[in-house]
Chains A and B, each alone.
Chain A
Amino acid sequence: MSTEAAENYALSFTDLKVTFETAGPDVHAVKGLSLAVRPGEVVALVGESGSGKSVTSTAAMGLLPENAYITGEARVGNVNVVGLDQGKMRKMRATDIAMVFQEPMTALNPVLTIERQLTEALELHDVAYGKEATDRAIELLTLVGIPDPAKRIKQYPHQFSGGQRQRIVIAMAISCDPKVIIADEPTTALDVTVQAEILDLLRELKDRLNTGILLITHNMGVVADMADQVAVMFQGNLVETGDVQQVLLHPQHEYTQRLLSSVPRLSPVIIDENAPRSEPTVPAERELVLEAKDLVLEYNMRGKIFRAVENVSFDVAKGEVLGIVGESGSGKSTIAKAVLGLLPVAAGTLAVKGHNLPKLSTRQARAVRKDIGVIFQDPAASLNPRFPIGDCITEPMVVHKVGNKASRTKRALELLDAVKLPRNVINRYPHELSGGQRQRICIARALTMNPELLIADEPTSALDVSVQAVVLEMLQDLQRDFNFACLFVSHDLAVVDMLADSVVVMQNGKAVEQGRVDTVLHAPTHDYTRRLLAAAPVPDPIEQAVRRDAWRILNSTK
């Protein structure tokens, strides 16, 4: 790359290699990456865990830990930051290169006001001081769309919503007009409707300030929505780069092809005002496994009662999958908790196979739970780190005093076969497995007692796209083979569309719409369902542009 050409780039990498020294063998996180971001351009760096995408961005910020060794070049403007002196690097941060982090909750200091945090960068870089800095900060907040900024600037981070906090983080990133912004999964922690708003904001700012954006994400929908150029990383290598339309619509590398094919997609949505709201046709011989009527669930927070779920009714029959979708705080996981007996039922009925849970004694409830299996969201936390895999899987048998040692081991091996893991895993420990493999162990554990009801609480949202595809396919197969009823809680409409027969859409503790999946998700009648559907980005840049406009119209009329 010639020097003249390099000057036109906001950020460029030339043959970047990053190696970490660990207690074991050295880890080659990035194996020779070359990439460039022009001003006013969004380059999406896409990859799954372990691909080295975050390490690349951290190298550009000069924030890698001490055991990292870097070769090659990472140029911000025309300064090579590899091996740059810390003092010089510090001067470049915020003014030349800035970062938007994933988790707005932790990226802001909870004990300082927004004003203090916004003016800090301005004062450090001699941009403005005192009153002037505050004025500039208010200006920045106006720019990122915080209402009433002059008043709200005195507030603390906890007084803002998640989306607003991410806007403030963005305001901090643009405060010193950087040449390039690195956005590391900027919308991963946010709900879809908020995500759409934040992406709109980033797009608008980029055009206005002519900054380059290096967008790091695993979400192909976000890529289709935002990016001009796409770079796909896999296991530390750059496997494919190119124009967004070319990469997403005509991928060349096999990895990109498989990655795109494993993204769950919603089948086309018909938004028709006059679509008749069809009632679910109930086959006569439905054998109800789970039934909720006017269910009310409450959290007791230090004497203050918070109603998380209000008057929700649904039922699941044998062999059926019911999806519960909603954004954070909608009460969808609370329902799963109540079915599992982790939360008391405040009012209404919640019956498993005709036994009303709130009326059962502890002993009876324990017997009922034998027929319920559960899969949780976080594969890192859902297996006891001190139990070998075999004990994890057979624990339900131990709890319910079923079988002896030999029959338990036999069952564990059967289940390992069912989730397609090698049999010798039985003596390994959870920390030796990857997230996806652990989630498969969780599925095996959930099926140990041949349950009639499976509760899956966001089982794939912590997993990579391709791993998610494997796990979902497995769930589908097992559901077909074992014919259990399943309550599937998720925020991802496409996943629910793929798995579920019927769906409940929740908002703020209420079921706003429910029915068969093909009715609710393809011809929604409620405004909220439509907004949810329109906000979820699809991995197709042309279709996404159309959807974006539809979303804008829908959003402006709310």
Chain B
Amino acid sequence: MSNTNDNLPQNLTSVAEVEDAKLARQSEDSKSQGRIVIGRFVKHKLAMTSSVILVFITIFAFSSVGWGVIPGWWDKSYLDAGAVINGGKPTLSLVPTWLGGEGIRWGENPFGQDSIGKDYFALVMTGTQKSIIIGVVVGLVSTFLGAVIGAVAGYFRGWVDEVLMRITDLFIVIPLLVLAAVLGQIAGASSGSIITLAFVLGLVTWTGLARLVRGEILSLREREYVAAAQAMGSKTSRVIFKHLLPNTIGVIVVNATFAIAGAILLESSLSYLGFGVQPPESSLGLLISQYQNAFTSRPWLFWWPGMIIVAIALSVNFLGDGLRDAFDPRHTGKKRRRRAGLFALPTRKEKP
């Protein structure tokens, strides 16, 4: 408890009075926990930079080639082949002429063309779209499943917990890539839709979150506000969804971001192995797999999708780091240094 308020009346002689006086003086807006967390997150430079990059990539990917029936500002389609110009080299140049480059230029095929003359920019942007959609859908599905299964297991304990956790164990012991490949191919073969694939990936990646949420709930359910809610006659669903799950939001949000990064990488691996997105659709992993042999001769075919995967995955991870620090400031590990010169040095306490 702080006792900094030097402007309090000095004649108070009871802790109760001091506390009430402080409360009466509190003039600033009250902050909910959510707002405090957002405040801390905004101060996290790396996470904020990552969010900006992520938002930029997302807007760029969706606005350039369009989404569904909505056309984008880029006029070439990723499905149309054309004449290969200049060996398909990228026309994008970022080095200005006065530095000995070709000047800042966008050009006809900024990311170059593939071997049959398709515009590589359109292909990469479509792939990025797919990766982002898969990441978000998998993140939502797996977070929802993991949170609910974990909460139910942790709240009810006993046989419910046993059954749910053994199912979780079952999913964990089967190698994720194999499971995802088999299910992904079934889903891909039946509908060919990328949302179905994302759903299936979500169905196999909820396990980690379920365990974490279960652990949190096991400790939260012993809190007295939960007992108070039960005692006043709340229904079980209200206790779980109003009192327990909102208090595990930190764990859930942080893990959702990591799940998104994981899903994007998983989709890339699957497509690379040929079990994920099938041509003529495009995805970043598929592009890398198709042009892996071109690495030495036409490196841009490898570098563009590769760099975008890395950029998305890294920024989502940093975003998660920032969220974790915002939810639990004890994890930051940063040390505050006192401004020098306020106290004479000899009286300063030695640091251990």
Q: Which residues of B contact A373 (CB under 8 A)?
A: 232
Whether A384 pairs with B243 at a CB distance below 8 angstroms is yes
Report Cα–Cα, A253/B349, bound state, in Å. 33
Given A384-B243, A388-B32, A258-B13 contact (CB < 8 Å): yes
Q: How far is the CA of A399 from the CA of B70 in the complex (A)?
A: 46
User: Is A14 located at the chain interface by the 8 A CB criterion?
Assistant: no
**A437 with B20: in contact, given A86-B352, A382-B224, A429-B30 (CB under 8 Å)?**
yes
- Which partner residue on chain A sits nearest B28 by CB separation? A432
Instruction: Collect the chain A residues with CB atoms within 8 Å of residue B228's CB.
Output: 374, 376, 382, 442, 445
Question: Would you call A68 and B349 a contact (CB within 8 A)?
Answer: yes
Residue B23 lies at the interface, judged by CB distance under 8 Å to chain A? yes
- Write out the residue numbers on chain A whose beta carbons fall within 8 Å of the beta carbon of B18: 50, 235
Cα(A205)–Cα(B319), bound, Å: 58
- Set B15, B225, B351: member contacting A383, Cβ < 8 A: B225
Least CB distance from A85 to B in Å reads 6
Q: Which A residues are in CB contact (< 8 Å) with B232?
A: 369, 372-374, 395-396, 399-400, 449
A75-108, CB < 8 A from B: 82-86, 89
Do residues A436 and B230 form an inter-chain contact, with CB atoms below 8 A?
A: no
CB-CB under 8 A from A67, the residues of chain B are 336, 338
* A82–B349 CB distance below 8 A: yes
Say yes or no for B173: interface residue by CB 8 A criterion.
no
Q: How many A-B residue pairs have CB under 8 A?
A: 174
Q: How many residues of A contact B (CB 8 A)?
A: 83
B346 proximal to A (CB < 8 A): yes
Q: Evaluate contact between B227 and A85: CB separation under 8 angstroms.
A: no
B330 within 8 A of A: no
Contact A24 B2, beta carbon cutoff 8 Å: yes
Question: What 0/1 readout, one digit per residue, does chain B (5-34) give for beta carbons within 8 Å of chain A?
Answer: 000000001111011101110100011111
Q: Does B350 contact A (CB under 8 A)?
A: yes
Find chain B residues with CB under 8 A from A128 CB: none
* Residues of A close to B105: CB separation below 8 A: none
Judge whether A432 and B26 touch: CB under 8 Å: yes
Q: Which residues of A contact B347 (CB under 8 A)?
A: 69-72, 82-83
Q: B14 — which chain A residues lie within 8 A by C-beta? A: 255, 258-259, 262, 466
User: Which residues of A (330-367) have their CB < 8 Å from a CB of B?
Assistant: 337, 340-342, 365-367
Q: Which residues of B contact A328 (CB under 8 A)?
A: none
Residues of A within 8 A of B223 (CB): 381-382
* In the bound complex, CA of A399 to CA of B228 (Å): 12
- Asked whether B343 is an interface residue with its Cβ less than 8 Å from the other chain, the reply is yes
**Pairwise interchain contact B336-A429, C-beta atoms closer than 8 A:** no
Check A429–B15 contact: CB distance below 8 A.
Answer: no
Known: A374-B228, A422-B23. A429 touches B33 (CB 8 A): yes
Is B99 interfacial (CB 8 A cutoff)?
A: no
A467 in contact with B16 given A26-B4, A341-B230 (CB within 8 Å): yes
Q: How far is the CB of A381 from chain B (nearest CB, A)?
A: 5
Q: Is B69 an interface residue (CB 8 A)?
A: no
Let me know if A340 and B231 touch, CB within 8 A.
Answer: yes
Q: Cα distance A386–B226 when bound, in Å?
A: 13
Q: Does A84 lie within 8 Å of B33, measured CB to CB? A: no
Rounded to whole Å, the gap between the CB of A121 and the closest CB of chain B is 19
Known: A24-B2, A433-B23. A386 touches B247 (CB 8 A): yes
B246 beta carbon closer than 8 Å to chain A: yes
Q: Are A84 and B224 in contact (CB under 8 A)?
A: no
Please measure, in the bound complex, the distance between the C-alpha atom of A62 and the C-alpha atom of B350, giving whole angstroms: 9
Known: A340-B231, A341-B231, A467-B15. A22 touches B225 (CB 8 A): no
Answer yes or no: B341 CB below 8 A from chain A CBs: no
> Is B45's CB within 8 Å of the partner chain A?
no
B234: Cβ under 8 A from any A Cβ? yes
Are the CB atoms of B349 and A466 closer together than 8 Å? no
Q: Given contacts A28-B4, A366-B233, are A83 and B15 in contact (CB under 8 A)?
A: no
Among the listed B2, B32, B231, B349, which residue makes an inter-chain contact with A369, where contact means beta carbons less than 8 Å apart? B231
Q: Is B48 an interface residue (CB 8 A)?
A: no
Q: If the complex has contacts A24-B4, A27-B2, A71-B347, are A466 and B231 also in contact, measured as CB distance less than 8 A?
A: no
Contact of B3 with A by CB under 8 A? yes
Assess the A384–B225 pair: CB atoms within 8 A. Answer: yes
Chain B residues with Cβ below 8 Å from A527 are none
Which residue of A is nearest B225, CB measured?
A: A384
Closest B residue to A84 by beta carbon equals B350
Is A50 touching B1 in the complex (CB atoms < 8 A)? Answer: yes
Please determine whether A255 and B13 come into contact, CB atoms closer than 8 angstroms. Answer: yes
Which of chain B's residues have a CB closer than 8 A to the CB of A372?
Answer: 231-232
Q: Is the CB of A236 within 8 A of B3?
A: yes
Q: Which of A360-407 contact B (CB under 8 A)?
A: 365-367, 369-370, 372-374, 376-378, 381-386, 388, 395-396, 399-400
Query: In the complex, A70 Cα to B238 Cα: how many Å?
Result: 49
- Residues in A with CB closer than 8 Å to B343 are 69, 71
A429 to B16, CA, bound (A): 19
For the complex, give the distance between the alpha carbons of A84 and B227 in Å: 48
The verdict on A540 contacting chain B, using a C-beta distance below 8 Å, is no
B166 contacts the other chain (CB 8 A): no
Encoded as 1 (CB less than 8 Å from any B CB) or 0, chain A from 31 to 51 comes to 000000000000000001110
Q: In the complex the two chains form, what is the Cα distance from A193 to B174 in whole Å?
A: 57
Cβ-based interface call for B308 (8 A): no
CB distance from A463 to the nearest CB of B (A): 9
Is A436 a contact of B19 with CB atoms below 8 Å?
A: yes
Tell me the complex Cα distance, A68–B34, Å: 29
**Does B348 make an interface contact (CB < 8 A)?**
yes
User: Are A436 and B346 in contact (CB-based, < 8 A)?
Assistant: no
B346 engages A83 (CB within 8 Å): yes
Once bound together, how far apart are the Cα atoms of A421 and B21, in whole Å?
11
Complex-state Cα separation, A266 to B229, whole angstroms: 35
Residues of A within 8 A of B31 (CB): 429
Q: How far is the CB of B24 from chain A (nearest CB, A)?
A: 6
Across-interface contacts of A381 in B (CB, < 8 A): 223-225
State the CA gap A489–B18 with chains docked (Å): 28
**Known interface pairs A27-B3, A236-B3, A386-B32; A83-B231 also in contact (CB < 8 Å):** no
Neighbouring A residues of B331 by C-beta, 8 Å: none
Give the distance to chain B from A334, nearest Cβ to Cβ, in Å: 13
B3→A21 contact, CB < 8 A? no
Question: Cα distance A62–B352 when bound, in Å?
Answer: 10
Q: Residue of B at shortest CB range from A22?
A: B2
Which chain B residue has the least Cβ–Cβ distance from A254?
Answer: B13
Given A341-B230, A370-B233, A377-B224, A85 contacting B350 (CB threshold 8 A): yes
Q: Is the CB of B224 within 8 A of A400?
A: no
> For B231, what are the chain A residues with a Cβ–Cβ distance below 8 Å?
340-342, 369, 372, 374, 455
A52 to B3, CA, bound (A): 10
B210-244 vs A, Cβ < 8 Å mask (1 yes, 0 no): 00000000000001110111111111001000110
Question: Chain B contacts of A429 at CB under 8 A?
Answer: 30-33
Which residues of B, 327-351, contact A by the 8 Å Cβ criterion? 335-336, 338, 342-343, 346-351
**Complex contact B225–A382 (CB within 8 A):** yes
**A27 and B4 contact, CB distance less than 8 A:** yes
Task: Give A residues with C-beta under 8 Å from B.
Answer: 21-22, 24-29, 48-50, 52, 62, 64, 66-72, 82-86, 89, 234-236, 253-255, 258-259, 262, 337, 340-342, 365-367, 369-370, 372-374, 376-378, 381-386, 388, 395-396, 399-400, 421-422, 425, 427-429, 431-434, 436-437, 442, 445, 449, 455, 464, 466-467, 469-470
Q: List 24 A-B contacts (CB under 8 A).
A: A21-B338, A22-B2, A49-B15, A69-B342, A71-B347, A83-B349, A84-B350, A234-B13, A235-B18, A258-B13, A372-B232, A382-B223, A386-B34, A388-B32, A395-B229, A396-B233, A399-B229, A422-B24, A428-B26, A429-B33, A431-B33, A436-B19, A445-B228, A467-B16
Task: Give 17 A-B pairs besides A340-B230, A341-B231, A421-B23 with Cβ atoms closer than 8 angstroms.
Answer: A28-B4, A66-B349, A69-B343, A69-B348, A72-B347, A83-B350, A342-B231, A376-B224, A385-B33, A396-B232, A427-B30, A429-B30, A429-B31, A437-B19, A437-B20, A466-B14, A466-B15
The 7 closest A-B CB pairs, nearest first, are: A50-B1, A369-B233, A382-B224, A340-B231, A376-B224, A366-B233, A428-B30
